[in-house]
Amino acid sequence: MTHTKFGKSFYTLLLIVLLLIAAAIRGGADFDWLQPVDELVYNLEDVKVVYSKASTYSMSSDRSLEVYDNGKNLLGYALISEELDARFPGYGGKVPLLIGLDTQKVVIGTYLLRHNETAEFIDHINDTKLLNTWDGLVMDTLLLMHDVDVISGATKSSTAIIRTFHSSVGNYLETNHKHGAPSFERITQLVLLLVLLLLSLSMQLGKRFRQYYIYYLLAVVVIMGVWLTKMLSLELFHNWLTKGLPWQSNWELISILVISITLAIAGHKKYYCNYLCPMGALQMLASKVSPFKKRSINLKISVLTLRTIYLSFIWTSLILGFLLPLAQLEPFMAFSFKVASWLMLIAGAVIVMLSLFFNRPWCQLCPTGCLLDSIPSFKSKRN
């Protein structure tokens, strides 16, 4: 690689990093997540959600909050999961809880404090009344034996909430509550994810298993899309930039992103788009089974592609401080059938129908793909 080309690639990469930092700062990131400092995750307004007459509260020796009204009358005791060292990651990070008890130590409400979970998942959980499951139960070790089912469609988030609740209660009662080994389903998910990752790298780097590509695409749609609902997106990137990387809860996608960036720099572009993106795989499957001749969509305004303009609009809006519903600007939520809105499901269906006639229509607009494609390559071209 010539010095000029290397310098251009380095400048492009530096520009991307600076723009990402600018978007993160504008989005409220102060990068405290780089420092080992515990942040207060609750205040009086949070306490009032459960205790409407609350005026003050104070920490007691058992790490619960004693909640009082204006007349200094005791209203009850609030358990804060963070204060009780109960931290279990959901899809976007920790799911801190406030568990409200009355003066007789009976659960009167559970409230989810500030978090980074996807709004659609939390709305689905709220619709199922998961947080009301423990209402009316006495704070006792028997409470730990109360079975609660995870919520289909928001499995990771609901599992984290249940485990955080049980751990908070166990720590408050000074009872060792073991969550047991990973479930068979979780182990199966990890094994299949690892297999997909190894196959994708083999096809990208070694050109092996290409004859099974269509079956591989089907596996990506089913496993990555429908079952795990794991995919890179602008909303995910924005959350990571402003809140930090949730290594515990989402190490799989973080690893995929790191591999994708590394391969792009090494000259292997579109690795994620071609091999691990469920929406990309779904479009290619529809295209392969369609009997119609496929046409390419060349969406350009002057020399700029439409997806470059779309990404620039989103990026500029974030830097200027506008709040955008990022989850609604890409159709990936359509894979979460129980959570997705009708509009998102219709968008997914339209993309599949267009894929019968055009080559990967959404990819011509996808801002996530555009962002990944903008990563410069430092690989020297051979003559």
- What are the residue boundaries of the structural domains of the chain, listed by start? 3-33+184-373, 38-172
Residue 383: which pLDDT band, with cuts at 50, 70 and 90?
Answer: very low
Could you tell me the pTM of the whole model?
Answer: 0.74
Highest mean pLDDT, choosing among 26-35, 117-126, 349-358, 363-372: 349-358
pLDDT at 366 over 50: yes
Q: What is the DSSP string of 89-118?
A: B-SSSB--EEEEE-TTSBEEEEEE-S--S-
Beta strands in the chain, from DSSP E residues, in sequence order = 56-59, 65-68, 74-80, 97-101, 107-112, 300-301, 304-305
Contacts with 63 (C-beta within 8 Å, 6 or more apart), sequence order: 79, 83, 84, 171, 172
pLDDT at 145 over 70: yes
Map residue 79 onto helix, strand or coil.
Answer: strand
pLDDT computed for residue 271 by the predictor: 94
